[in-house]
Chains A and B, each alone.
Chain A
Amino acid sequence: MFDLTGKRALVTGASGGIGRSIALALAEQGATVALSGTNQERLAQTAEAIKGESHTLTCNLADRDAVEALVPAAMEAMGGIDILVNNAGLTRDNIFIRLKDEDWDTVIEVNLTAAFKLSRAATKAMLRQRWGRIIQITSVVAVDGNGGQGNYAASKAGLIGMSKSLAKEVATRGITVNSIAPGFITSAMTDMLNDKQRQVILDDIPMARLGTPEEIAAAAVYLSSQEAAYVTGQTLHVNGGAVLV
């Protein structure tokens, strides 16, 4: 099950956390992976942990020209593209009335617009081969909201709407488009929480623990697989039961 031998995957935000785990998991199932991120050193560290074929592609997703060049570069490196995981994302949190225009713009640009452009470029290649998997890493806050994250939640909800629309367009072409919505996952971001903040979060999670990047990666492996061919336009929530939709 879930064999990805011969598949070629581009993962954005592969330098750390969830993106790194996704890249490792796809590679473990046999996929060739192209790792994209801003930090070449950390990309190289991820690449070192991969036994099979991998490539590193430094790319700043806030740079529109760099975004346009990424899928072609990945296709050149791997000889094509079968799986795209739009994982890269950033936050610029503030309460709504203090949210600056530039913090809104940056978050939408990197989290949503870059994902749109990469999905568009990948779809074109996938249409030709009549097979493709596009996965957006969204967030529980896309459906549940979160005070202080109006921009981030908007970008993540945008990904879901975008994916559903693209999923309908390309459904007859062997291409599926799905989203994964992680809840609270252990990361550099959650490591910075103090005990009280952590307890407040855990009180709202029926499983009373944070998730792991590997648990998100497992969802990505499933959605990338041939076995998930009949699943499209969906949002797979991996959140320990914190939000049930």
Chain B
Amino acid sequence: MSDIADRVRKIVVEHLNVEADKVTEKASFIDDLGADSLDQVELVMAFEEEFNVEIPDDAAESIQTFGDAVSFLEKAVN
């Protein structure tokens, strides 16, 4: 488990108020974790703040699952 994944999971757990073990790689924020579309935008904003990166809108829209977020951020940060 990467450090980035841990930090992303922490944000997701806090923001969506879900159990950490529900936040699996394939877990969709909207379909599996109860997010609405505004939650999804706010998650992306929280990722931007946590990792000090800018996530453009088209990239943000492609981040649908926990795994998507981690792989995007691993690339963006490194």
Residues in A lying within 8 Å of B, measured CB to CB: 124, 127-128, 169-170, 173
Smallest Cβ-Cβ distance to A173: which chain B residue: B38
A124 and B38 within 8 A (CB): no
Chain B residues with CB under 8 A of A173: 38
A128 and B38 within 8 A (CB): no
Main secondary structure of the interface of B (DSSP, over half): helix
- Bound-state CA distance A33–B42 (Å) is 27
| Contacting residues of chain B (41-71) with chain A, CB-CB under 8 angstroms | 41-42, 45, 49
A and B contact pairs by CB, cutoff 8 A, 10 listed? A124-B45, A127-B38, A127-B41, A127-B42, A127-B45, A128-B45, A128-B49, A169-B38, A170-B38, A173-B38
Chain B residues with CB under 8 A of A169: 38
From residue B50, how far is it (CB to closest CB) to chain A in Å?
12
Chain A residues with CB under 8 A of B42: 127
Chain A residues with CB under 8 A of B45: 124, 127-128
Chain B residues with CB under 8 A of A124: 45
- Bound-state CA distance A105–B31 (Å) is 41
| Contacting residues of chain B (3-46) with chain A, CB-CB under 8 angstroms | 38, 41-42, 45
